[in-house]
Amino acid sequence: MRNNPVCWFEIYVQDMPRAKAFYEAVLGVQLARLEGPDLDMWAFGMDETSVGAGGALVRVPEVPSGGTGTLVYFSCEDCAVEESRVEKAGGRVQRAKMSIGPYGFISLAFDTEGNMIGFHSLK
């Protein structure tokens, strides 16, 4: 396989307005509603020039949020910037910016729905 096989991710939430506000505030992005008759999904922006996997916040009543089975890392210029926005947006920092050697730096946080997420940067 030549390319990264990850093409899509979903972060399950219980309170969509709260979760949407959290991710927009922390990442400095605007999420876009995905249209569909029974969908409550808000996508992270992707177009033909974007690099990386696409994904969305998803609210499905029978699927709980939280847990740590899968960890999504968001790419950043400096993960300390996004980390600094987490608590103001209603989340909680789990692990402050730390070195991962030649691979850069990471921060870990919990969003407003109890999902652990990561931030990764090279500086």
pLDDT of residue 2: 63
Mean pLDDT for the chain overall:
89
Which residue did the predictor score with more confidence, 76 or 62?
A: 76
Residue 1 has pLDDT above 60, yes or no: no
pLDDT band at 111 (very low <50, low <70, confident <90, very high): very high
Residue-wise pLDDT tens digits, 68-101: 678 899 999 999 999 999 999 999 999 999 999 9
| DSSP assignment string, 12-43 | E-S-HHHHHHHHHHHHT---EEEP-TT--EEE
Q: Rounded to whole angstroms, how far apart are CA atoms 96 and 105?
A: 10
Question: Which CATH code, of 3.30.420.40, 3.10.180.10, 3.90.650.10, 3.90.79.10, is assigned to 8-121?
Answer: 3.10.180.10
Burial of 91 from C-beta contacts in 10 A (0-12 / 13-18 / 19+): buried
**Residue where the block lists tokens 């609210």:** 59
User: C-alpha distances in angstroms, 73 versus 53, 55, 76, 88?
Assistant: 11, 12, 9, 20
Q: Rounded to whole angstroms, how far apart are CA atoms 50 and 115?
A: 25
Identify the weakest region by mean pLDDT among 59-68, 74-83, 104-113: 59-68
Domain ranges for the chain: 8-121
- Give me the helices (H) in 1-123, please: 16-27, 79-86
Which residue did the predictor score with more confidence, 20 or 6?
A: 20
Residue 36 has pLDDT above 60, yes or no: yes
